[in-house]
Structure 1
Amino acid sequence: MTHTPRVSIVMSTYNGEKFIRQQLNSLIAQHYSNWCLSIRDDGSSDATLAIIAEYQKRDARIRLMQDSHGNMGPARSFMHLLAQVESPIFMCCDQDDVWLPHKVGEAVARIGDDTATPRLFFTDLIVTDGDLGTIAKSFMAFQKFDPLRAKSFKGLLLQNIVVGCTMAGNSALLALLRQAQTHNRHEMLMHDWWFALLASAFGTIEYSSTPSILYRQHGGNSLGAPGSNLSRYITMLWNSKPWKRASVYICKVAAQSSSFRRAYGNSLTQTNLAAIDKVTALGSARSCLPLVRTFSAGIAMNGWLRNAALLLSVCVHPAAWNAPLLPSPVSTEDNA
């Protein structure tokens, strides 16, 4: 490979002593070696910091960022790290996964050397248990996700399918993020979702079905992969809690869409503005009609089961929707 740009990898850690060694070892074992890892600890009380210090001595490419912000939550912690990236390509890394040896090199090849067009690349994942035993060979199949929906702005407004720990982006994509004022990102649910929206609206998104990481599922995950099957959704629909969760979810997605519009509305196409407005309107919905209109416009979640569950939660349990759902800015930690 003649194209060997520096790759900035960012990692936010929190009480990761159990698995972080395996992840750091997998980074050191990458076939592509021109990378640096910036770690920000989000207030660990275990041996995470001691382990990081040990690896800093072993590999000069690993460094720990120091600040006084304390616990910020995963989204804000990653955003703080990304604000300091200067390399032409960036990647986000979780503390408890294992990267396969080809991951960084493939990302560099797919992103290329185009610095003018915002570019995002993501891959499938192998879902594992805490001991790295395989649960599913394909995260996308396990979740019944269609990765091609990521190429459509409308396909990303209600649900994100770009998993941040597989994602790589270029400096043009990062520059778009930095254009938005901080107050326009308060309602960001997760950094990977925001990047996916940016790339689909203003640049390109490329996907590989070849998994690039072992995606570990365990009791301490901030966000996980529960799977998608009929029995799970039937159980949820007959439980009282999902109605409340659905209303909160719609509220947060509507707030995120409103925030994205404030930040980039002057540059969005009329088609994308109309799509955003439909999603934002869901935040003050009192009936299922706005959601039906949103689905009719091609703005939906992945798979009929998810859409049916969301629609039923609105139509069958109106008590959860009898008050305005667009509150003051939503904390990203609530979604972590």
Structure 2
Amino acid sequence: MSTYNGEKYIKTQLDSILAQDYEEIDLLIRDDGSTDSTREILSAYAKKYSSITWYSGKNIGVQKSFFDLILKANLERDYYAFADQDDKWLPGKISRAVSILKDYSKSMPVLYCSDKVIVDEELQPIKVTVSRVMKKTSFGNALVQDMCTGCTAVMNKKLLDIMRVRIPEFTIMHDWWFYLTATCFGEVYYDKESYILYRQHGSNTSGAMINKNNLFRYRLQQLFKPRGEIYYQASNFLTVFGNNDLSSNNQDIDLPKISIENMKLIKDLLKSRQKFLYRIKLTLTSKLYRQKVLDNIILKFIILIGKL
């Protein structure tokens, strides 16, 4: 868990993690430079519960904070989950994820993620009129869309090991990097059931689309905002995983190779920024897509104007 000025909600989240019906849970927390009473709360919980460990750091932002946690994780564990400070986990969240992950080979990198119940500040459900569609997970989807909400993510050790080898200089969001890595080298299991109360409030780093007005405004902003992040993220992914001769954080772990098919797709994506013929090619392929029909149409338009 990464925390930052979370005094208002963090006790609820910590209590919900401690109340999980999966008993073997250790909680590692990095505080990202809080200026409220968050650190005092963490200290009190750590003194009371031996399963909780925390450390403080400079304010580096949520993404870098989570990647720092990845580097400091206890490598003797089989599964790793990510938690936000302001949600509430339902009792079976971890046991459900583990029941899925344990059916996969330990040699395969696997990511579990799920839907979520959107709630207000008082944990009361908010009416959601925008459905979250998950038709198929794939590397082609992950290149252009993040379908993993980080607070629902649970991964096996193999996936964590791969991500620890080299930390990216840039990614749009840390959970998007999880999704990219898992779809490129292993498997993603998306659970349509929810085991988490996802709190929406004014201080959220990111939020969920809950109605058509929110979604329309988001799509409009996506069309007209300065773009290029998807190209940059893809380029960083190629830098991290496309050259196995680069130095790594752990020399004992061999990086998997990007498949020929995935390598071709990511290189075509990067070439499309400068070459119109590649843009045409990408609009015609079914391998690069977003989950919803309208979002996919918008994607094709953005590809054509070279603004990913």
TM-score tier by shorter-chain length is 0.7 to 0.9
Aligned 1:7-156 pairs, distance under 5 A: 11-67=1-57, 70-85=58-73, 86=75, 87-112=77-102, 114-136=105-127, 143-150=130-137, 152-156=138-142
SS of the residue 1:174 aligns to: helix
Higher helix proportion (structure 1 or 2): 1
SS at match of 1:147: coil
How far off is 1:111 after superposition?
Answer: 1.4
- The residue that corresponds to 1:331 in the other structure is none
Query: Superposed, which structure 2 residues align to 1:117-266 within 5 Å?
Result: 117-136=108-127, 143-150=130-137, 152-180=138-166, 182=167, 185-227=168-210, 229=212, 231-232=213-214, 242-245=222-225, 247-248=226-227, 251-265=228-242
Structure 2 gap segments, 5+ residues each = 244-256
Q: Distance in 2 between matches of 1:234 and 1:208?
A: 26
Distance in 2, matches of 1:131 and 1:260, equals 39
Distance of aligned partners of 1:314 and 1:195 in 2 relative to their CA distance in 1, 3 Å threshold: closer
Q: TM-score, normalised by structure 1?
A: 0.78
**Equivalents in 2 of 1:255, 1:297: separation in Å?**
21
Give the counterpart letter for 1:82 in structure 2. I
Shift of 1:57: 2.2
Residues 233, 27 of structure 1: alpha-carbon distance in 2 compared, 3 angstrom cutoff: closer
Select which of 277, 281, 292 maps to 1:303.
292
Deviation digits for residues 183-220 of structure 1, max 9, x if unmatched? xx112222221121221121121122220100111110
Query: What displacement does 1:90 show?
Result: 0.5
Match of 1:7 in 2: none
Between the two proteins, the alignment pairs up a number of residues equal to 291
| RMSD over equivalenced CA pairs, Å | 2.5
Quote the Cα distance in structure 2 between the aligned partners of 1:84 and 1:132. 32
SS at match of 1:40: strand
Residues 117, 203 of structure 1: 8 Å contact kept: yes
Distance in 2, Cα, partners of 1:173 & 1:148: 23
TM-score by length of 2: 0.85
Q: The residue matched to 1:187 in structure 2 has which SS?
A: coil
1:233, 1:309 within 8 Å by CA — same for their partners in 2?
no
Q: Which runs of 5+ in 1 are unaligned?
A: 1-10, 327-336
Compared with structure 1, are the counterparts of its residues 100 and 282 closer, same or farther at alpha carbon in structure 2 (3 Å cutoff)?
farther
Indicate the percent of aligned positions where both proteins have the same amino acid.
Answer: 32
Q: Are 1:273 and 2:263 counterparts?
A: yes
SS at 2:136 equivalent: helix
What residue identity is the alignment partner of 1:270? I
